Chains A and B, each alone.
Chain A
Amino acid sequence: MGKWLTELDQLLRGEHTRKDDLRAGRVGLPARRLAVLGIALGLVYGAGMGLFAATGGREHAWRHLVASAAKLPLLFGLTLLVTFPSLYVFAALANSRLRVRETLRLLVAAITVMLGVLASFAPVTVFFTLSTDSYRFMLLLNVVFCGLAGLVGLGFLFRAVNLVFPDEAGAEEGRRARRIFRVWLLLFGVVGAQMAWILKPFVGNPQLPFAWVRDSRGSSFFEFVLRSITDNWR
């Protein structure tokens, strides 16, 4: 346990992503250990998220908890799986100095940072779960936490990308590579949002029965957001 926390501590402090190493195109992160750590952190926050549906004397309470806990790491893993090949191909075309492994390591690290931030919010989620019964509030709270975690992960990734592709040397190449990472981030966000939509429920609407995954074919996250906005304006 202590060893893992040290690992997380080092990652968050940026000791794995030191300036000199990144400048030289070296990403010496222990990817496998970070992936395991990320999964553990995801389980923690997922369980915190699922607690809302597991309390309140509802049927299959434990299943809710297990389902949310398992689905959160899955969400990030699957999103990475879908978006990684294209990122790698386009980065290589832009003469990125990072090879396949290094690119993957960097992304695993950024995702682990995100999950670390999320896990740190877990006690807050649990606290609110135990003190409120508003589903909408819990939904909003979780969206805010995910958004914040996303921003921190984004900051981590951009700091690293800016160091790997510095402005001075090979300005054109660097600019191109950074642009590709930026576009990829957009793709990651879009796929991630839709992935979450497919894997829902995470919080669990108390009015609906338990389901490991709800049937969401024929609808999308973006449609939902658009409809929510237009419905409120009318």
Chain B
Amino acid sequence: MIAPRLDVEGLLRGEGLHRVGGGRPLLGRLVLTLALGGALYGGVMGAFGLNAEQALYSAVKVPLLVVVASLVCLPNFWVVNLVLGLGPDFAAAWRGLLSAQATLAVALASLAPVTAFFYASTDSYDFAKLLNFAVFGVATLAAQRTLARHYRPLLARDRRHAVALLAWPALYFFVAGQLAYVLRPFIGNPRFDTTFLREHWWGNVYGDLLWAVRGL
């Protein structure tokens, strides 16, 4: 089994290899955990209506979404930390963020059976959408646990970490929202053809949202 080698248990509990304040980020382990967990959930997420092709695409796209969104936000996070004078703590902060992303992926994977089960008992695409919103919401909350664990000693050392901790999600969710829009479909509306990306994949989620609000 690969889970013990990645020390998933330690990640969830903040022990062993993943103990807080353990030095440099375990880049390989965390990214692999993230990729595997995300792929597992993506595979189930795309399997709505037993669409194997979509399942394969989503298995690639879910980890891609998390990794690319993090990479896009990383330089800004670094600068924010430097400006706040938190440079020496950056490795620990980055480690906390990566651990939180990996936790998100593990939580998603653990909820995959629930999603699969509800897919097996409904044909409603709207229900599938709501279910996935809920699953991602719950997994995000789970990730907060890990993030809080890593940030507790940092916050105790310097209150300015609170600013960095606000700056990260603000930018991250802003970027991830747009990226998720570009990478859609994840579930795959059964009425449309299965494609890796939608034909008109470009666009702006926030513009669309604004239009939708105006349309009310």
Most B C-beta atoms less than 10 A away, residue of A82, A95, A218: A82
Q: In the complex where A90-B142, A92-B12, A93-B146 touch, is A82 in contact with B122 (Cβ < 8 A)? A: no
Contact call B117/A89, Cβ cutoff below 8 A: no
Contact call B122/A220, Cβ cutoff below 8 A: yes
Is A120 positioned at the interface, with any CB of B under 8 Å from its CB? no
- Please tell me which one of the listed residues B110, B122, B123 contacts residue A88 in the complex, with CB atoms under 8 A apart: B110
- B residues less than 8 Å from A85 (CB atoms): 109-113
User: Smallest distance from the beta carbon of A129 to chain B beta carbons, Å?
Assistant: 29
Is B167 positioned at the interface, with any CB of A under 8 Å from its CB? no
The number of A-B residue pairs with CB atoms under 8 Å apart is 60
Contact call A92/B13, Cβ cutoff below 8 A: yes
- A residues less than 8 Å from B114 (CB atoms): 82-83, 86, 187, 191
Is A226 positioned at the interface, with any CB of B under 8 Å from its CB? no
Determine the main DSSP class of B at the interface with A. helix
B residues 142-179 with Cβ under 8 Å of A? 142, 145-146
Interface 1/0s, chain B 102-118, versus A by CB < 8 A?
Answer: 01001101111110111
User: Smallest distance from the beta carbon of B195 to chain A beta carbons, Å?
Assistant: 26
Contact call B110/A95, Cβ cutoff below 8 A: no
- A residues less than 8 Å from B106 (CB atoms): 89
Is A52 positioned at the interface, with any CB of B under 8 Å from its CB? no
Most B C-beta atoms less than 10 A away, residue of A83, A93, A195, A217: A93
Contact call A93/B145, Cβ cutoff below 8 A: yes
Is B120 positioned at the interface, with any CB of A under 8 Å from its CB? yes
**A residues contacting the other copy or chain, number (CB 8 A):** 24
User: Smallest distance from the beta carbon of A188 to chain B beta carbons, Å?
Assistant: 11
- A residues less than 8 Å from B120 (CB atoms): 198
CA distance A72 to B53 in the complex (A): 35
Contact call B146/A217, Cβ cutoff below 8 A: no
Is A216 positioned at the interface, with any CB of B under 8 Å from its CB? yes
User: Smallest distance from the beta carbon of A226 to chain B beta carbons, Å?
Assistant: 14
Contact call A94/B122, Cβ cutoff below 8 A: no
Interface 1/0s, chain A 75-107, versus B by CB < 8 A?
Answer: 000000111011011101111000110000000
Contact call A218/B110, Cβ cutoff below 8 A: no
CA distance A51 to B25 in the complex (A): 61
Contact call A93/B142, Cβ cutoff below 8 A: yes
B residues 86-130 with Cβ under 8 Å of A? 103, 106-107, 109-114, 116-118, 120-124
Interface 1/0s, chain B 1-37, versus A by CB < 8 A?
Answer: 0000000010011100000000000000000000000
- B residues less than 8 Å from A198 (CB atoms): 120-121
- Please tell me which one of the listed residues B12, B103, B109, B121 contacts residue A220 in the complex, with CB atoms under 8 A apart: B121
Is A194 positioned at the interface, with any CB of B under 8 Å from its CB? yes
Binding site for B on A (CB under 8 A): 81-83, 85-86, 88-90, 92-95, 99-100, 187, 191, 194-195, 197-198, 216-218, 220
Further 12 A-B residue pairs, CB within 8 A, beyond A92-B9, A95-B14:
A83-B114, A85-B110, A85-B111, A86-B114, A89-B142, A90-B142, A100-B9, A194-B117, A194-B121, A197-B121, A217-B121, A218-B123
Binding site for A on B (CB under 8 A): 9, 12-14, 103, 106-107, 109-114, 116-118, 120-124, 142, 145-146
Q: Can you list the 4 inter-chain pairs with the closest CB atoms, starting with the nearest?
A: A92-B12, A89-B110, A85-B110, A86-B110
A to B CB contacts below 8 Å, 5 in the list: A85-B113, A86-B110, A100-B9, A195-B117, A220-B121
